[in-house]
Amino acid sequence: MKNEEIIEDYPNYIINTYTRQPIAISHGKGIKVWDNDGKEYLDFFAGIAVSNLGHAHPNILNALKEQSEKIIHCSNIYYNENQLALAKLLNKLIPNSRIFFANSGAEANEGAIKLARKYTGKTEIISTKNSFHGRTLATITATGQSKYSEPFKPLPAGFKHVTFGEINELKNAINDNTAAIILEVVQGEGGIVVSDENYFKEVEKICKENNVLLILDEVQTGFGRCGKMFASEIFNLKPDITTVAKAIAGGFPMGAIIANKKVAKGFKPGDHGTTFGGSPLACAVAIASIETIINDDLLENSEKLGKYFRTHLLTLKDRYSFIKNVRGYGLMIGIELYIKCSNIVNKAREKGFLINCTADNVIRLVPPLIIKKEEIDLLIESLNEIFLDIQSE
């Protein structure tokens, strides 16, 4: 089928929940993808920071093939060796942790909120304005953007929002009934919004002083995206709970709650569960993905090429007055503009680049961690042409 045929027939069968780009993706290889009309793109979006090894990576394909021939699913009614192996691997990355396997970021956060309430016996969860934590009722309530939650009232009780980066607001929001604060290290959907080491260190300290759990939502920042395995390592943070999903299994759906072993004891048999979570297949693919990130030095590539990328984007900022700011860590990069960016995304796509616009005016660049300098150069060149057009309009 051609792009247009697919796009035209969608509304006849699919619930209309997404604002989609007008192409149908057919296949991919490395950092390239092709649409149904055969047009080739360099993928700087990686399916929302998911495909960290790019597309059709041989290690992912091997894991999928080998494990799917053994067994795909067995439920959590039985033990499974792959789950243990993946948990051991995650335990090396975040020592003294215990893992619960889920299927998505929202589900991991939902479970983390349950665990925080169960462990502390308290109910209130503090999150930050402009954050994003998922689409279930509890996680849209934790999400600090009312557009996601307003239409779905009544919302669960026990959630409060404070300004990201404002330590005094957080201090004032804590009371005897505060169970946890949930934070992104870099606000992803919110526009690649960063804060400084001082803020995060203070948050950690305040949590300790008040017996409040610190939950870091690393669903978007995890697995090398920010130049470290986890963004918490940038500031040497030791959260009580880390939630992950997106890139954990190289594109295969999976999420996880990584709790320190003391907090993990809050859950007793029967307290939480899921049918698909931690299937033998998902675990095998996650192991292959994480081991490849480690063995192929992709953390270093993310850090180095992220710097290279930002340096070159900053030269564009000097040239074009509508660029407000370039920020991020590793290969999680935002270009904040004084203008809306959806048109820039369209122009880039026509030139053969997949990029994303979030928070209306922030270009989000989250390419696979296997990206090379030359590919970054090509995007910079194209962005320069697009920006030149805009400036002369």
Ligand X SMILES: *Cc1c(COP(=O)(O)O)cnc(C)c1O
132 part of the active site = yes
Using rule CB under 6 A, residue 188 touches ligand X: yes
Work out how close the CB of 372 gets to ligand X at its nearest, in angstroms, rounded to a whole number.
Answer: 25
Give the residue, chosen from 43, 184, 303, 336, that forms a contact with ligand X under the rule CB under 6 A. Answer: 184
User: Which residues face 180 on adjacent strands?
Assistant: 125, 213
Four-residue CA torsion sign, 298, 109, 68, 87: positive
Which of 45, 132, 309, 387 binds ligand X (CB under 6 A)? It is 132
Closest CB 148 distance from ligand X, rounded Å: 11
User: Which stretch, 77-85, 199-207, 213-221, 290-298, contacts ligand X (CB under 6 A)?
Assistant: 213-221
Q: Which of 82, 83, 104, 260 binds ligand X (CB under 6 A)?
A: 104
> 300: alpha, beta or left, given left = phi > 0 and alpha = psi -120 to 50?
alpha
Region binding ligand X by CB under 6 A among candidate stretches 9-17, 152-160, 169-177, 215-223:
215-223
Q: Give the interface segment with ligand X, choosing from 75-83, 99-107, 257-265, 334-342 (CB under 6 A).
A: 99-107
Question: Rounded distance, CA 231 to CA 308, Å?
Answer: 19
217 annotated active-site: yes
**By the rule CB under 6 A, 106 interacts with ligand X:** yes
Q: Minimum distance from CB of 260 to ligand X (Å)?
A: 20
Nearer to ligand X, 130 or 301 (CB): 130
The least CB distance from residue 192 to ligand X, in Å, is 11
Cβ count within 10 A of residue 6? 14
* CA distances from residue 343 to 119, 235, 348, 349 in whole angstroms, order as listed: 47, 35, 9, 10
Helices (H) and strands (E) in the chain — how many of each? 13, 15
Catalytic option among 43, 122, 228, 246: 246
Q: What tokens were used for 75?
A: 């439920």
Shortest-Cβ-distance residue relative to ligand X: 105
Out of 110, 204, 217, 336, the residue judged to bind ligand X by CB under 6 A: 217
Q: Which stretch binds ligand X (CB under 6 A): 32-40, 120-128, 217-225, 227-235?
A: 217-225
Structure tokens at 36: 């149904």
Cα→Cα distances 157→124, 140, 176, Å: 8, 12, 16
- According to CB under 6 A, which residues from 141 to 170 bind ligand X? none
245 belongs to the binding site for ligand X (CB under 6 A): yes
Give the nearest distance from C-beta 269 to ligand X in angstroms: 25
Out of 55, 117, 133, 310, the only residue in the binding site for ligand X (CB under 6 A) is 133
Between residues 188 and 328, which has the closer beta carbon with respect to ligand X?
Answer: 188
Would you say 385 and 392 are in contact if contact means Cβ atoms under 8 Å apart? no
Catalytic residue, candidates 132, 230, 252, 309? 132
Look up 246 and say whether it is catalytic. Answer: yes
Q: Least separation, in Å, of the C-beta of 360 and ligand X? A: 17
- Structure-block tokens of residue 109: 């956060």
State the alpha helices, DSSP H only, in the chain.
Answer: 3-9, 46-49, 58-70, 81-93, 105-120, 137-142, 167-173, 197-209, 261-264, 280-295, 298-319, 342-350, 373-392
Using CB under 6 A as the binding rule, whether residue 43 contacts ligand X is answered as no
Long-range contacts of 59-63 (CB under 8 A, 24+ apart): 59/288, 59/289, 59/291, 59/292, 60/250, 60/251, 60/252, 60/285, 60/288, 60/289, 60/292, 62/288, 63/284, 63/285, 63/287, 63/288, 63/289
CB of 63 closer than 8 Å to CB of 285 = yes
Per the residue annotation, which of 35, 101, 200, 217 is the catalytic one? 217
Pick the stretch among 24-32, 88-96, 98-106, 341-349 that binds ligand X (CB under 6 A).
98-106
Distance (Å, rounded) from C-alpha 375 to C-alpha 354?
A: 12
Shortest Å, Cβ 134 to ligand X: 4
Binding test (CB under 6 A) with ligand X, winner from 115, 194, 219, 337:
219
Task: Give least dist CB 22 to ligand X, A.
Answer: 22
| Secondary structure element (H or E) that encloses residue 217, with its range | strand 213-217
C-alpha 32, offset from chain centre: 21
Q: Do the Cβ atoms of 89 and 287 come closer than 8 Å?
A: yes
Which residues have a catalytic role annotated? 132, 217, 246
Please report, as ranges, the residues that interact with ligand X according to CB under 6 A. 104-106, 109, 132-134, 184, 188-189, 217, 219-220, 245-246
